[in-house]
C-alpha cells in the first residue's frame, strides 16, 4: 500500500520517498534502496523493540532516525503509516521541527494495547466505556505492554497530527467515541491496482482455477487466527457440507495450528488447505471461486481481501462488523451476516446459490464495476492529494 | 481470454455462418482462445474453423464436460431460432453473455402453415435474451422489435450491422455465359435475391413486372435463391408461377434456384427489387449497392435504414408503386447514376473493417473480468510412469512389509454393496494370500551405526549373499509357492463350502415346496 502510494505520487509529479523503520525484527541495517523507482530508506535495529512499555511508546532510536531523515529530505509533509511498529517517536520528531504530519490508521493501536479492541473472552471493547482501557485484553498476538493513562498519553503525543486518514468510517467512529475530535479525521478508502492476472505457478491453484464452475466454492483467505473468526466457518462447515450441493471450501493462508487442525478434520474433498498462496496468484484464485468469506469478529478496518475479491468479480460474504459493511452492498455485491453467527453464514451461502445463474453473474459484474469505480488506486491518490493539500493549507 | 460461440449449426454459405467465421477470425487476431459449439456437424467450413468447432449436446454443455465452455469469459449465443444449445444460457453464472439476435420472420407473414409453429417457437424463444448481459442485433429495426415485444432495455442492445464481403461484391460487366443461359441480351433485368418465403412477396414482384413490361417490353425478372429446401416455399412458388402464366409473362420470370456465386448475378441486374414485408437486415440490398445496382425496396423492416438515401422506397404491398419506382430508375439515367454513387458510398458502412471495429468496442465494453489462462498440464507418458514406479519402491527403506496391510485396508474401507459374508471371505482370502509370502522382499540390509553404518551394511550384505542366494532363497521360494497353493486351496474350499450351503438352502426350499405340494395333493 505504502509502495503503491509513493509510486503513484511520484508518477503524479510529487517528490516522495519512504522511510521504513521496523523495530520489531532485529537486523541492524541502515541502507538506501531503490525499489522499482521508489527511493526507500530501510532501517532496522540490532535488538528488537524492548518489552519496556515506555520504550514501546517512545523509542529514542526511532526519534533520532526520523529526525535525521527529516533533516536530510526536508519534507513539506510527513505521512505516517501503521505506527505500532515505530512507536510514537515520529510525531514527537515532527513536532520538534514543526513539519505537518498525517497518520493513516490501520488498527486501534491508539486506543487499545492489542490493536483490536478485542477482549480475551472474545467480546468487543467499547472505547467509550473504558476510557483508560479495559485491561481484559486479548493477548495472544500483537499485544503491546500497557502503561497507565495510556490513551490519554497517546492522544497527547499525536496532538500535532493534522489529519488522521482512515480507510473506513467505522474506525473514525471508534476514535471519536474514545474522545478524538471528529474534525481531525478524513476517510480515504484504499485503492488497488487493477493488475492483470498472472498464471498461477502452484499446481493446486491451477487445478482449482481449472475446476471452477464444477463446484460451489467458498474461499477463506487470510490469517487463520481467532480475531478473523475462523471458528465461525468451522462451526458452519458441517451445515454447508450438508445443505450446499457440490460444496467446497478453499483455505488460503497460514495461522494457528488449532484452527488448521480443526479444518483438516473435515473431509479433504470438501475442505482444501492451500497454505500460503503468493499475492499475485491470489487474484486467479479469487476469480475462480464463487464467494469469498470474511468472518471477522474484531473491528476490521478495510480489509484488502474485499478489494481483491471484488476486483476479480467475486462477491464477498462478510460479517457486519468494523469497516466491512461499508464495502459490501448486501445482495448486490455480497452478503452480510452478524459476526460469529455460523447459521447466518450458512443461510447466506444457501441464499446465494439459490439465486439464478444470471443473477449471480450480474452480482459478479457489479462487484467489478464497484471495484473499478470505488476501489482504484487513482481514486485513492486523488483523495489523498486533496487531504495533503488541505493539510498544507491548514 | 476464452470465448465460446454457440449456434445451431455452422454452414459456411449462410449469413450466420459467415458471421461466426468472421468472429472466429476476429477473436483469433486479438489473441483470444475461441471455440464454436454447434448442435449439427459443420458444413463446408475451412479446416482452421473446423478445428475449433465442437459438435455437442446440451447435456455436455451444462454438466461442465466442456472445459473451455465452463471456463469461458465471453459467451456469444447466436440466435437463428430456438435450438437446444440455447437453453444452456440459463445456467451461466460467470463471464459475460451476449445474445446475438439474427431476426425471426413473424409467423403471420410466413405465408404458409408449414413451419409456422416452428416460427412461433422461435419468436417465443427470443425471450431468452433476458438471460444475457447484452444483445447484439444487425439493425435498429430489430432493436426496436426487441424493446417493444420483450421490454428489453434499449441501452443493453447494440446495433452491429452485418459485414458484407465488399472485395467480392464489386461493380462489373455482365457475364456473357449467364446472359446467354438466361437469354438476357438486350433486356432490362430486375433482380431479386433471397429465399422464396412468404414474407418476401414474390407475387408483388410478378405483378409489378407485368406493369413495367407494359411500358418497357424488354424486361425480365430474375429470381435468385432457394425455392425448394423448405416445403413451405413450394406452394408460394407454384402460386407465383401460375400468376405469371395468367399475366402472360411466364417466360419473362426466371427462377435460378440456389446459386454458388452471387456477384455475377448482381452484375446482370439493372435494378434490384424487393417487396419483402419483413427484413431484419437485408444483406442482398448491401450486396446490390456494392455491385453498383440501384435498389427499389418496400418501406418495411430494416430496409429503409440499410438503404439510407441510396435507393428508392415504395409502399409495402403495392405493386403499382413498385412498378412506378422501377420505371423511374430505368428511365431517369441521372437519378440512376446518383443512386449508384450513393450506394457505393453507403456500403462502406458495412465493410468487414467497420464490423470488426464495432465488435471490438462492444467486446471491450462487455467484458469486465477474465479468468487467467491455464496452459494444459504436461502429459506424463505411460511408459515413463511405469519406469518411475518400481524405482520409488526400491528406494523405500521399509525393512519388513507388514503382511496384514492389505487385510487392514480392506477392513477400514468396506464397500457397502458387497454382502457381509462375502466381504469377510474376501478379507480372509486377501489376508491369507498376503501372509503366504514370507520372503521379506522389501528387506534391505542396513546399519544404524554412525559413520561406520554403510561399511557394516556392505560387509553384512557380502557375507550373507553367498549363503542366501544359492541355499536360502530357493528354500524360501519353495515355501512361498507351497503357502500360495495352500491358500488357493483354502479359497477354493471356502468357495465350495459357501456354494454347498447355498445349494443346501435351495434344496431345503425345494423339499419344503415339494412337501407342501404333496400335502396339497393328498388332501
Task: Per-residue pLDDT tens, chain B, 523 aa: give them.
Answer: 899 999 999 988 778 888 999 999 999 998 899 999 999 999 888 999 999 999 999 999 988 888 899 989 899 999 988 999 999 999 898 889 999 998 888 888 887 787 888 888 998 889 999 999 999 999 999 999 999 999 999 999 999 998 888 999 999 999 999 999 998 888 999 999 988 888 889 999 999 999 999 999 999 999 998 888 788 888 888 999 999 999 999 889 999 988 888 899 999 999 999 999 999 888 899 999 999 999 999 999 999 999 999 999 999 989 999 999 999 999 999 999 999 999 999 999 999 999 999 999 999 888 866 666 655 554 444 444 444 344 344 443 434 444 444 444 444 444 444 455 565 666 666 777 778 888 777 777 888 888 898 888 888 877 776 677 677 877 888 888 888 888 888 888 888 888 899 999 999 999 999 999 999 998 8
pLDDT per residue over A266-321, tens digit each? 888 899 999 888 887 888 889 889 999 999 999 999 999 999 999 989 999 999 99
- Chain A residues in contact with B369 (beta carbon < 8 A): 287, 311-313, 364, 368
Q: Which residues fall within 8 angstroms of residue B49, CB to CB, at 6 or more apart?
A: B10, B21, B24, B36, B42
Domain regions of chain A by residue span: 2-191+377-393, 203-374
Q: Which residues in chain A have their CB less than 8 angstroms from residue B95's CB?
A: 361
Q: Is the ipTM of this complex over 0.85?
A: no
Whether residue A200 and residue B372 make contact (CB cut-off 8 A), yes or no, is: yes
Q: Which chain B residues have a beta carbon less than 8 Å from that of A195?
A: none
Per residue in B129-160, pLDDT (tens digit) is 999 999 999 999 999 999 999 999 999 999 99
Place of cell 435460378: B256
Interface test with A, best of B63, B72, B90, B93 (most A CBs within 10 A): B93
Query: CB neighbours of B431 closer than 8 A, spacing ≥ 6?
Result: B404, B406, B407
Q: Which fold has domain B176-349?
A: Rossmann fold (3.40.50)
* DSSP sequence for B166-231: TTTS------HHHHHHTT-TT-EEEEEES---GGG-HHHHHHHHHHHHHH-SSEEEEEES-SSSST
Q: What is the mean pLDDT of chain A?
A: 88
pLDDT of residue B229: 79
pLDDT of residue B395: 40
What pLDDT score does B406 carry? 42
Mean pLDDT, residues A127-135 taken together: 76
3 state SS for B409-460: HHHHCCCCCCCHHHHHHHHHHHHHHHHHCCCCCCCCCCCCCCCCHHHHHHHH
Query: Which pLDDT does position B143 carry in this prediction?
Result: 93
Tell me what pLDDT residue A386 has. 94
Shortest Cα–Cα distance, A356 to chain B (Å): 8
Report the distance separating Cα B114 and Cα B118, nearest Å: 9
Pick the CATH number of A2-191+377-393 from 3.90.550.10, 3.40.50.2000, 3.90.1170.50, 3.40.50.920: 3.40.50.2000
Q: What is the distance in angstroms between the Cα of B353 and the nearest Cα belonging to chain A?
A: 28
Chain B residue with CA closest to A286: the answer is: B371
B372 and A368 within 8 Å at the Cβ level: the answer is: no
In this structure, CATH architecture of domain A203-374 = 3-Layer(aba) Sandwich (3.40)
Window 44-83 of B, Cβ < 8 Å to A: 64, 67, 70-71
Q: Write out chain B residues lying below 8 Å of A212, CB-based.
A: 70-71, 94, 371
> Which residues make Cβ contacts (< 8 Å) with residue A74, sequence separation at least 6?
none
Contact A287 B369 (CB under 8 A): yes
Q: Give which of A217, A208, A205 is closest to A241, Cα–Cα.
A: A217
Considering CB atoms only, which of A203, A283, A357 is closest to B92? A357
* Residues of chain A positioned with their CB less than 8 A from the CB of B374: 199-200, 206, 209-210
| A290:B93 CB<8 A | yes
Residue B121 CA to residue A230 CA, distance in Å, equals 52
User: Considering only A49-63, A377-391, B21-35, which range has the smallest mean pLDDT?
Assistant: A49-63
pLDDT at A113: 80
Q: Which residues contact B296 (CB under 8 A, 6 or more apart)?
A: B271, B272, B273, B274, B311, B312, B313, B314, B322, B325, B326, B329
User: Where do the domains of chain B lie?
Assistant: 2-163, 176-349, 397-515
- Name the burial class of residue B165, with classes exposed (0-12), middle (13-18) and buried (19+) by CB atoms within 10 angstroms of its CB: middle
Query: Within chain B, what is the greatest distance between any pair of CA atoms?
Result: 122
Q: Which residue has the cell 426350499?
A: B509
- Cβ-Cβ contacts under 8 Å between A and B: the total is 78
CA distance A234 to chain B (A): 26
Inter-chain contact B64–A210, Cβ cutoff 8 Å?
Answer: no
Assess if CATH 1.10.510.10 describes domain B2-163. Answer: no
Burial (Cβ within 10 Å: 0-12, 13-18, ≥19) of residue A310: buried
Topology agreement, domain A2-191+377-393 and domain A203-374? yes
* Exposure b/e, B463-486, CB count within 10 A at least 16 = b: eeeeeeeeeeeeeeeeeeeebeee
List, in sequence order, every beta strand (DSSP E) within chain A. 18-22, 30-35, 38-44, 78-80, 101-104, 161-166, 185-187, 216-221, 247-252, 271-275, 291-294, 316-319, 334-337
Does B2-163 match B176-349 in CATH topology? yes
Min Cα–Cα distance to chain B from A153, Å:
49
Residue B127 CB-half CA count within 13 A: 6
Using the beta-carbon criterion (under 8 Å), do A197 and B371 form an inter-chain contact? Answer: yes
Grid cell listed for B308: 439510407
Give the pLDDT confidence score for residue A344 in this predicted structure. Answer: 95
Short-list B442, B436, B435, CA closest to B400: B442
CB contact under 8 A, A200 and B374: yes
Collect all residues of chain B within an 8 Å Cβ-Cβ radius of residue A203. 377
Are A364 and B369 within 8 A, CB to CB? Answer: yes
Element (H or E) spanning B100, and its range? strand B96-101
The pTM of this model reads 0.76
Measure the CA–CA gap between A259 and B85, rounded to whole angstroms: 45
From B64, B93, B370, residue closest to A361, measured CB to CB: B93
B427 burial (CB, 10 Å; 0-12 / 13-18 / 19+) is: middle
Q: Are strands B157-159 and B188-193 parallel, antiparallel or unpaired?
A: unpaired
Contact A100, A389 (CB under 8 A): no
Q: C-alpha cell of B11?
A: 454452414
Q: What is the pLDDT of residue B324?
A: 93
Share of chain A above pLDDT 90, in %: 53
> Which residues in chain B have their CB less than 8 angstroms from residue A209's CB?
71, 371-372, 374
* Best mean pLDDT range from A45-54, A212-221, B427-436, B440-449: A212-221
Phi, psi of A31 (to 5 degrees): -140, 155
- Binned at pLDDT 50, 70 and 90, residue A391 comes out as very high
Sequence-distant (≥ 6) Cβ neighbours of residue B57 within 8 angstroms: B39, B84
Give me the helices (H) in B297-399, please. Answer: 303-307, 319-331, 333-346, 352-366, 382-395
What DSSP line would sit under A265-285, residue for residue?
TS-TTTEEEEE---HHHHHHH
Cβ separation of B371 and A358 shorter than 8 Å?
no
Cα–Cα separations (whole angstroms), residue A142 to A139, A252, B253, B519? 7, 21, 93, 91
Q: What percent of chain A has pLDDT over 70?
A: 95
B5 touches chain A (CB under 8 A): no
Residues of A with Cβ-Cβ distance to B71 under 8 angstroms: 209-210, 212-213
Residues of A in contact with B96 (CB under 8 A): 365
Quick one: pLDDT at residue B76? 95
Q: Give the contacts of B176 (CB within 8 A, at least 6 positions apart).
A: none
Retrieve residue A153's grid coordinates.
498519553
Amino acid at each position: 500500500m505504502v509502495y503503491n502510494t509513493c509510486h503513484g505520487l511520484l508518477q503524479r509529479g510529487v517528490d516522495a520517498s519512504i522511510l521504513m523503520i521496523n523495530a520489531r525484527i532485529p537486523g541492524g541495517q541502515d541502507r538506501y534502496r531503490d525499489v522499482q523507482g521508489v527511493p526507500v530508506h530501510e532501517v532496522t535495529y540490532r535488538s528488537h523493540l524492548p518489552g519496556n512499555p515506555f520504550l514501546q511508546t517512545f523509542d529514542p532510536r526511532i526519534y533520532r532516525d526520523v529526525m535525521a531523515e527529516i533533516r536530510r529530505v526536508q519534507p513539506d509533509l510527513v505521512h505516517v503509516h501503521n505506527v505500532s511498529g515505530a512507536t510514537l517517536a515520529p510525531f514527537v520528531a515532527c513536532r520538534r521541527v514543526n513539519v505537518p504530519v498525517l497518520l493513516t490508521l490501520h488498527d486501534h493501536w491508539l486506543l487499545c494495547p492489542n490493536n483490536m479492541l478485542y477482549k480475551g473472552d472474545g467480546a468487543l471493547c467499547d472505547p467509550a466505556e473504558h476510557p483508560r482501557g479495559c485491561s481484559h485484553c486479548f493477548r495472544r498476538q500483537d499485544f503491546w505492554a500497557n502503561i497507565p493513562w495510556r490513551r490519554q498519553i497517546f492522544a497527547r503525543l499525536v496532538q500535532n497530527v493534522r489529519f488522521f486518514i482512515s480507510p473506513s468510517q467505522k474506525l473514525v467512529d471508534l476514535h471519536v467515541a474514545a474522545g478524538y475530535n471528529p474534525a481531525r479525521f478524513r476517510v480515504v478508502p484504499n485503492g488497488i491496482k487493477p493488475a492483470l492476472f498472472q498464471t498461477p505457478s502452484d499446481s493446486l491453484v491451477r487445478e482449482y482455477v481449472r475446476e471452477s464452475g464444477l463446484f460451489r466454492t467458498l474461499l477463506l483467505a487470510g490469517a487463520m487466527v481467532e480475531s478473523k473468526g475462523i471458528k465461525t466457518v468451522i462451526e458452519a462447515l458441517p451445515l454447508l457440507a450438508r445443505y450446499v450441493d457440490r460444496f467446497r471450501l478453499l483455505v488460503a493462508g497460514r495461522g494457528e495450528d488449532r484452527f488448521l487442525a480443526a479444518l483438516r478434520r473435515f473431509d479433504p474433498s470438501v475442505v482444501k488447505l492451500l497454505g500460503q498462496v503468493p499475492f499475485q496468484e491470489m487474484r486467479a484464485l479469487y476469480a475462480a471461486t464463487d464467494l469469498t468469506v470474511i468472518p471477522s469478529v474484531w473491528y476490521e478496518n478495510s480489509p484488502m481481501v474485499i478489494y481483491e475479491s471484488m476486483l476479480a468479480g467475486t462477491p464477498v460474504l462478510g460479517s457486519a462488523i468494523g469497516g466491512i459493511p461499508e464495502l459490501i452492498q448486501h445482495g448486490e455485491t455480497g452478503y452480510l451476516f452478524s459476526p460469529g453467527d455460523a447459521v447466518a453464514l450458512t443461510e447466506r451461502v444457501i441464499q446465494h446459490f439459490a439465486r439464478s445463474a444470471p443473477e449471480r453473474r450480474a452480482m459478479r459484474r457489479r462487484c467489478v464495476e464497484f471495484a473499478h469505480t470505488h476501489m482504484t488506486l487513482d481514486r485513492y491518490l486523488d483523495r489523498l492529494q486533496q487531504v495533503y493539500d488541505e493539510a498544507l493549507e491548514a | 481470454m476464452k470465448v465460446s460461440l454457440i449456434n445451431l449449426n455452422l454452414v459456411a454459405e449462410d449469413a450466420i455462418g459467415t458471421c461466426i467465421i468472421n468472429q472466429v477470425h476476429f477473436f483469433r487476431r486479438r489473441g483470444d482462445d475461441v471455440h464454436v459449439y454447434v448442435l449439427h456437424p459443420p458444413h463446408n467450413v475451412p479446416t482452421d474453423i473446423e478445428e475449433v468447432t465442437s459438435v455437442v449436446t446440451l447435456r455436455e454443455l451444462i454438466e461442465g464436460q466442456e472445459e473451455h465452455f465452463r471456463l469461458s469469459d465471453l459467451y456469444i449465443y447466436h440466435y437463428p431460432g430456438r435450438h437446444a444449445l440455447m437453453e444452456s444460457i440459463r445456467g451461466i453464472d460467470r463471464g459475460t453473455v451476449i445474445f446475438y439476435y439474427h431476426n425471426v420472420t413473424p409467423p403471420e407473414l410466413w405465408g404458409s402453415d408449414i413451419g409456422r409453429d416452428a416460427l412461433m417457437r422461435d419468436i417465443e424463444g427470443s425471450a431468452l435474451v433476458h438471460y444475457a448481459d447484452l444483445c447484439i442485433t444487425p439493425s435498429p429495426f430489430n432493436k426496436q422489435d426487441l424493446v417493444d415485444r420483450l421490454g428489453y432495455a434499449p441501452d443493453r442492445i447494440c446495433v452491429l450491422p452485418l459485414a458484407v464481403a465488399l472485395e467480392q461484391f464489386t461493380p462489373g460487366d455482365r457475364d456473357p455465359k449467364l446472359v446467354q443461359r438466361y437469354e438476357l441480351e438486350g433486356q432490362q433485368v430486375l433482380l431479386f435475391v433471397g429465399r422464396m418465403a412468404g414474407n418476401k412477396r414474390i407475387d408483388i414482384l410478378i405483378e409489378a413486372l407485368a406493369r413495367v413490361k407494359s411500358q418497357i417490353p424488354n424486361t425480365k425478372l430474375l429470381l435468385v435463391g432457394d425455392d425448394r429446401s423448405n416445403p413451405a416455399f413450394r406452394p408460394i412458388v407454384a402460386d407465383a408461377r401460375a400468376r405469371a402464366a395468367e399475366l402472360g409473362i411466364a417466360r419473362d420470370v426466371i427462377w435460378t434456384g440456389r446459386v454458388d456465386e452471387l456477384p455475377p448475378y448482381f452484375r446482370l441486374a439493372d435494378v434490384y427489387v424487393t417487396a419483402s414485408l419483413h427484413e431484419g437486415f437485408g444483406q442482398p440490398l448491401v450486396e446490390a449497392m456494392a455491385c453498383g445496382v440501384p435498389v427499389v425496396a418496400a418501406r418495411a423492416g430494416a430496409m429503409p435504414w440499410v438503404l439510407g438515401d441510396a435507393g428508392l422506397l415504395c409502399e409495402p404491398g403495392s405493386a403499382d408503386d413498385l412498378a412506378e419506382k422501377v420505371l423511374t430508375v430505368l428511365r431517369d439515367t441521372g437519378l440512376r447514376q446518383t443512386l449508384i454513387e450513393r450506394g457505393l458510398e453507403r456500403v462502406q458502412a458495412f465493410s468487414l473493417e467497420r464490423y470488426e471495429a464495432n465488435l471490438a468496442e462492444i467486446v471491450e465494453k462487455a467484458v469486465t473480468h477474465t479468468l487467467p489462462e491455464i496452459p494444459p498440464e504436461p502429459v506424463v507418458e505411460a511408459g515413463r510412469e511405469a519406469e518411475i514406479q518400481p524405482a520409488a519402491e526400491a528406494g523405500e527403506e521399509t525393512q519388513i512389509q507388514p503382511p496384514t496391510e492389505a487385510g487392514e485396508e480392506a477392513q477400514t474401507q468396506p464397500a457397502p454393496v458387497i454382502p457381509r459374508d462375502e466381504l469377510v471371505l474376501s478379507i480372509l482370502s486377501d489376508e491369507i494370500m498376503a501372509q503366504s509370502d514370507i520372503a521379506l522382499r522389501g528387506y534391505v540390509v542396513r546399519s544404524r551405526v554412525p559413520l561406520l553404518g554403510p561399511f557394516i551394511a556392505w560387509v553384512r550384505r557380502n557375507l550373507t549373499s553367498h549363503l542366501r542366494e544359492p541355499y536360502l532363497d530357493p528354500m524360501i521360494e519353495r515355501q512361498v509357492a507351497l503357502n500360495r497353493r495352500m491358500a488357493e486351496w483354502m479359497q477354493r474350499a471356502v468357495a465350495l463350502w459357501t456354494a454347498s450351503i447355498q445349494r443346501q438352502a435351495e434344496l431345503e426350499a425345494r423339499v419344503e415346496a415339494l412337501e407342501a405340494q404333496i400335502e396339497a395333493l393328498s388332501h
